[in-house]
Structure 1
Amino acid sequence: MTSVDLLVGYVPMHNNRFRQVVLIIAVLALIAGIYFSLRSQPDLLREARLGPVFVLALFAVPATIYFNALEFVLSARLIGHKIGLKSAAETSVIGGVANMLPLPGGVLVRVAALKAEGASVARSTSVMAFVAFIWAAVSFGYAGAWLVISGATAFGLSFIALGCIGVIGCFALSMHLLDDHIITAQLFACKAGLVLVDAFRLYLCLLAINVAAEFGQASVLTVSGFVGSSFSIVPAGLGIREGVSALLGPLVGLTAAAAFLASAANRIIGLMVSAPLALLLAWKAGDQAKTGVA
């Protein structure tokens, strides 16, 4: 047993009280980050613009839901199962909101949905991990390209190298183990769409807080989404995603405060749209269960 295994063994991930404490700490970290960001740049919200917020809520967030649903359809197809886009969208919405609970809710919801279609837990978990590797490859490669364009060449080339390694690794794995590089290519295209939409969302959030930003600057911040989600101990990467954005922002001419607040606004507005949808879907599912409707 390695030292990493021993360390993981000491983390009581299955203890609900432990996860609740982690969630509370993450929320406090997010609140503290927002407070100090506003304290360092108090003018950021004084002239907030509602136009970009409406575009984000009405168009960009639904686009994210669509791409997440399409990704889940392709993930199921990769292991030989068919899931409709509507069902996949419901799973994606509920899973996205469940991520905020003190457990890896999004993964559990998706694995449960695949299991209901007849897939094993092991294969369902494996395909979720595989898609996460694709996300890493796309997000690092994309952010790296914009870092190079912005002049942060050393960081940019490092990110691009990670992205290239990820692409090669994922296709090698798909050809030798999954035997379906066509769907893998489709998953890469889908993830590219998701990353572009996330960049657009962050760009809108920067405009909403009245920051004169460019799309390329917002694009660099997209890698924070993957990094945040990688810390499964913290629900939905709460606070981590925003912190990584604050670290990346100055590399492309954004202040740490502006990058942090834009990332926080992106999360909050996304939840404001997704949470009511998730509640509606859960209520609808409960009614169907009572009436026996499939």
Structure 2
Amino acid sequence: MTAATQPRSVNSAAADDVAPIVQRLRETYARWTRRTPIEQMRDDWDELFRSRAQPWRINGFEAGGVAAEWIMAPDARANRTILYLHGGGFRMGSIDSHRDLMQRLSIAAGARVLGINYRLGPEHVFPAAVEDALSGYRWLLDSGVRSGSIAFAGDSAGGGLVLACMFAARAANLELPSAACLMSPWTDLAATGATFLSRADVDPLHQRPMILSMAKAYLGPSGNPLDPLASPLYGDLERLPPLLIQCGDCETILDDSVRLADRAAKAGVAAELEVYPSMIHVFQAYGELHAARQALASAGRFLGRYFTEQDKRPPEGRGDTRDCG
């Protein structure tokens, strides 16, 4: 591993207890059986997180035909825009489940966040999610937002989708965003990482059979887990913008982040890898954790460095919100 990709283990000044969080997640999983409708699973997942969000105005609309919402902190700058792609294994997750996380990211980065509800499986298999993510990005560009004032962010499946969207944008000869922040990104649907074994005893939730099952459902009968638009770890990373990759040390998919950072550096991409000791998958979603606050602050600083010279222009208010409802 090159020096540029050595993971930075992030020390926390406060000890975090993730046990209550894990217990709540396990209680939700325990209610699900093979007969549980996918709609019920999605509702249960949204309910786990919905009450965490602050009561900001909900600005719902369609961005390029995809359901979307503006998440804007009071001091969010109109010339800083983050396109956020949520996690959930391509089966669950929504703006509702991630509104709190997007709100905290908006505060940390001083940016408005565009969250989208891309199509989910099993109703819509690969590459539907990639197509919707690209539609959301095209909508921003067509609305007059400059690529240099846009950053991408996403968690888990959404983190991998961020990379896939950039691959698709590059193939379409679109300008790429200024930077991207990936939280516990799922980048290898073939699940070949060594940490599926080395972290199996410390990851309280996600084991390799579960990961492979979600991958199969997303890919459908003809999808290839080695397709770069499904598993960006196998894609061409050259010319991608700077990446911040954050993950917990207690994740079976830890290697999805470690290997991504290594491959990015070898491709000449500026990649920073932060590994948070004792943290679980997408720990940033739990704002009560000191490590989550630390990670979001780091993400805000990182993205702030790469927004373009537009930041030096006088503020223009909260931007064009004619489609915000």
Both proteins in one fold, TM over 0.5:
no
TM-score when normalising by structure 2: 0.28
Q: Which has the higher helix share?
A: 1
TM-score when normalising by structure 1: 0.30
